Amino acid sequence: MNTNDQIRTVVFDVDGTLFDTLPSLAAAANEVLVLAGLQAIEPQHLRPALSQGITALFQSALRLQTASVPLALASRLEKAFQQRYASHWLHKAVAYDGALELLSMLRSQGIALGICTNRDQDSTRTLLDKAALTGFFDVIVGLGDAEHPKPDAAPLHLALTQLGATPQTVLFVGDSGIDAACAQAAGVRLAAHLGGYAANPDDLRPYVVAFSDYAEFHSWMAARTSTQSTAETTHHV
């Protein structure tokens, strides 16, 4: 892929990229675990599993128990966790500072926007609705929409197809090794959010830009889109 190709489309991951969801997910998981007489798990120990989805996070919490959890009990607890999270904790996650301003700027520059996540559609839309971000996105691809989840390229390819975009003009914004592998498999450039949930920043390589907060990424994208707009104006004169 050519890192100098113009960016026409930006696709975002959700957990650890647009939203800081780990605190609310860990709280819901620990409520269910403690009520069942099991151990609460420190949120940082659940971080690596979150990039694989909500279910993977809770399954990780079960594996981290000092004693193995019977399969039947694990299944009941997983359902209880999903219900508790949806009813009491989902709406408490917050978007990262600066995300709204970035999305507004990209939209003003005519950049198409999409979502590609291993989170289910319903909870993804709930998060976006609460933060008043849903209207920014033309396409939302969630868990189960493609044949395989990330890190397979299928969900990102589906998002690109629905957006009418080609890989050469797309930037994927993610925070995990799974996002990096998905981007590479799809032939798409990656913007790495270092303020997310990756256990090791090197897991995010290769990327074209890395940022710790959205102010940094906003500046980088503003410079790129401004250059593109100037080049297009010059070309059409």
203 in a structural domain: yes
Which pLDDT score, from 0 to 100, does residue 3 have?
60
User: How far is the C-alpha of 129 from the C-alpha of 137, rounded, in Å?
Assistant: 11
3 in a structural domain: no
pLDDT in tens, 188-208: 999 999 999 988 889 999 999
4 in a structural domain: no
Written as six digits, the tokens of 27 are 């709280």
- Asked if 129 and 14 sit in the same domain, the reply is yes
Which pTM does this prediction carry? 0.91
Kindly report the number of other CB atoms within 10 A of residue 34's CB atom: 11
Domain end residue (candidates: 92, 108, 143): 92
- Is residue 52 very low, low, confident or very high in pLDDT (cuts 50, 70, 90)? confident
- Asked if 76 and 110 sit in the same domain, the reply is no
Q: Is the pLDDT of residue 18 over 80?
A: yes
pLDDT in tens, 89-121: 999 999 999 999 999 999 999 999 999 999 999
Closest by Cα among 89, 73, 86, 66 to 35: 73
Domain end residue (candidates: 38, 63, 92): 92
**Catalytic residue list:** 13
Q: Quick one: CA dihedral 125, 127, 131, 137, positive or negative?
A: negative
Domain housing 60: 22-92
- Is residue 233 very low, low, confident or very high in pLDDT (cuts 50, 70, 90)? very low
Q: What CATH number has the domain bearing residue 156?
A: 3.40.50.1000
User: How far is the C-alpha of 107 from the C-alpha of 168, rounded, in Å?
Assistant: 19
Which pLDDT score, from 0 to 100, does residue 227 have?
62
- Asked if 117 and 205 sit in the same domain, the reply is yes
2 in a structural domain: no
